[in-house]
Structure 1
């Protein structure tokens, strides 16, 4: 049973799409877990504590008939029984550190109507024109949900979650289980919130090389330079698509043994050099690495819910990237520093390092390299479960993350196209200079047209 308290209907801001106004009229309820729970506190792990209070959004587009609000609410109430931390809130403990209050307060659920607007009218690639209206602004709790209904019968399901509580891998698990519950499936049985999987060692056996790498990739927040406020204020958001043939061509050019993501990252690194200003003599590129397969090769962490991330990065001079290095050379460099961090010892050492630093917070230095260099971070969304996001009316025709973070570095997230043909969809939050370099020069990045999404 869905429990909720209706709030006063409200109207969201107006945006313009191809000459048509998109005005959202909405109302919000609170969806609570279908079963009562005992209130308790769940500490965030040391790896969770590396994340600042950032909000990540994802949205999925469905053609007529789209999933209905009643079905989504019923499924959400069911799945929150197992994913109970998402129905709680983040509070401070006695040391001032964030932790989860598992109270069963519920998830804010907004139902919106788009007036006379048609889903096919949305310019999804031009995110700043109004796509952000389709994801909820989280006001409380850990997760907020918004379902937007269009006159054509199409629907957009948007979610916003607190990154301190989970990473994209974890939220993907939640999406799949929520969809299954909405179709009448059963709740998950292997989900794990066990902090023992990411507990510090006593004593820490970290090696000098491990400590040196951690010291380069992370630093106490008190000694971390903050990016200028203008960096976030001027950044733009775009969504592109890349043809499967172009992804394959990049991989071939990157050389034997290089992954598609390494080739893509190398290509983007070169593009960053074209966008660098005269005073940006360095270009920094980082890649988000999931530690689950490295900390537990036996698969013990496959069902772990939380953050298990590190962000290795490399720095190359702008001049070298612009003309002195072939794509294969750049891809070799990406492969080297990603492999250096993709080890069990690095992640275990990182857990120990945070423990020694607590309660002082820390930050990934790759996120702040934009203070001194043209900087970018790639986070792979290639495991996004497009096929598993069927809430009872079919899979989405389009899906993307939306993450306009305030860091000094650009943020880029490729994920599989919902077409299922090997194409990629790429979300980008970046400085106008980088977007200009990508769009004005011949690149593998193609503007996302409505005809690509809706046929």
Structure 2
């Protein structure tokens, strides 16, 4: 059985003794014509929040911090010529009731810092320690009275010579898939080359139809008023669970004789969904919905280019009653998860976009889930080497499960970062192991 990591068993690091060396703004390396960037009707579904990631690197004698800083800054300035919207500023068009980006070359934040600790002092790099918040650019603020950065980077060196790149980006600019392409492009330029993959930046390909034609009900979406919206802050706790390849194979065997292909994602999603439903007090006859992120680029006709830079993802939903999730054999729960993905064809996705144009909204579900398993952040080849670990700087601010590659991605291990209210998390933990 996998090892449970939590605040009681992991020695949490709360302070890395950070010193800020410099803070600056990086601009595109070449003059860029000003423009307003249209944001798609998927972007409008309240993806307006920051994602903070940390990418750790071992010491490399050929790349001390000044060399890394120079190479990274130069690469970012050059890549912003292509990704001009990242150097822009988000604004709300009240007349159209839409978010858009003013591509005005206002720049991105860049912080250079050093820590008085060594990488070895952080016992578990894959665990989001409280101190990791110091590794992202909370210290990078735009000039007074200016709008927030859409992208900011912090480069922090450790006493041992290792270092970490902390990336803060507004999700409305890039989803996880296009962030991986962006990082590959930075690495390619820093190595002395050109853009490795030219991003496709025309977000009108994910526009609503004219006139909009909502052909399905969309219980996975919550209608919002025509005002800028931000997520409420909740008091949540989190734990990191580790599933070994043996654990995942056990779940796959239990998924037989499911009529769908029992992938690692489906069986883990089914297990998490059932445990969360059982851990949540309420009427057992009521529906309990799992909403999980999926890539819709290839599901449209014609397909959206794989290089699409923006939000090419939507939430698929699986619904059952708590009683059904309790009584069904495991393979039946797996099939219910699969139904959500099957529903996401061209017509359904376009119906979502049409609904967004008419109502504006936010994804909802009794529990949400996303996966980073195939993003490949840990595979990016920088001139100073690949990251020894890439992950979240902190837990999400909503109740959800995030699937992350384990310490040995090739071994198919999986880390589950579970964020929930305290009492629910305790009950979830109990069911997680009893039903595994």
Normalization by structure 1: what TM-score?
0.80
**Is the deviation greater in 419-428 or in 171-180?**
419-428
Aligned to 1:45: 40
Q: What's the CA shift for 1:285?
A: 1.4
Among residues 158, 170, 192, which one is paired with 2:200 in the alignment? 192
- The runs of 5 or more residues in structure 2 that have no matched partner are 1-9, 142-147
Contact 1:271 1:434 in 2 (8 A): no
Aligned to 2:357: 355
Aligned to 2:103: 102
Q: Provide closer, same or farther for how the CA distance between residues 363 and 144 of structure 1 changes in structure 2, counting only shifts above 3 A.
A: same
Q: What's the CA shift for 1:241?
A: 2.9
**Partner secondary structure for residue 311 of structure 1:** strand
**Partner secondary structure for residue 32 of structure 2:** coil
Q: Provide closer, same or farther for how the CA distance between residues 204 and 37 of structure 1 changes in structure 2, counting only shifts above 3 A.
A: same
Among residues 414, 418, 430, which one is paired with 1:428 in the alignment? 418
Among residues 14, 23, 28, which one is paired with 2:17 in the alignment? 23
Normalization by structure 2: what TM-score?
0.83
CA separation in 2, counterparts of 1:421 and 1:339? 28
Aligned to 1:312: 316
Contact 2:371 2:402 in 1 (8 A): yes
**Partner secondary structure for residue 211 of structure 1:** coil
Aligned to 2:186: 178
Q: Provide closer, same or farther for how the CA distance between residues 437 and 72 of structure 1 changes in structure 2, counting only shifts above 3 A.
A: farther
Question: How do residues 49-128 of structure 1 correspond to structure 2 at under 5 angstroms?
Answer: 49-65=44-60, 68-95=68-95, 96-124=97-125, 127-128=128-129
**Partner secondary structure for residue 400 of structure 2:** strand
Q: Flag the structure with more relative contact order, 1 or 2, with Cα contacts below 8 A and sequence separation at least 6.
A: 2
Please say if 1:218 is aligned against 2:221.
Answer: yes
Please say if 1:364 is aligned against 2:355.
Answer: no
Post-superposition Cα deviations, 1:61-93, rounded to whole Å, max 9, x if no partner, equal: 111127722221122112111111111110122
- The runs of 5 or more residues in structure 1 that have no matched partner are 1-15, 367-374, 447-455
Q: What's the CA shift for 1:436?
A: 2.6
Post-superposition Cα deviations, 1:277-322, rounded to whole Å, max 9, x if no partner, equal: 3578654311112110101565x42111111222132343334434
Aligned to 1:411: 400
Q: Provide closer, same or farther for how the CA distance between residues 90 and 119 of structure 1 changes in structure 2, counting only shifts above 3 A.
A: farther
**Greater fraction of residues in helix:** 1
Q: Provide closer, same or farther for how the CA distance between residues 179 and 444 of structure 1 changes in structure 2, counting only shifts above 3 A.
A: farther
Q: What's the CA shift for 1:205?
A: 5.5
Among residues 330, 354, 373, which one is paired with 1:382 in the alignment? 373
Among residues 309, 329, 332, which one is paired with 2:335 in the alignment? 332
Q: Provide closer, same or farther for how the CA distance between residues 254 and 203 of structure 1 changes in structure 2, counting only shifts above 3 A.
A: same
Q: What's the CA shift for 1:389?
A: 2.0
Post-superposition Cα deviations, 1:24-60, rounded to whole Å, max 9, x if no partner, equal: 1113111212111111111211110012421111111
Q: What's the CA shift for 1:126?
A: 5.0
Q: What's the CA shift for 1:445?
A: 12
CA RMSD after TM alignment = 3.0
**Partner secondary structure for residue 131 of structure 1:** helix
Q: Provide closer, same or farther for how the CA distance between residues 392 and 237 of structure 1 changes in structure 2, counting only shifts above 3 A.
A: farther
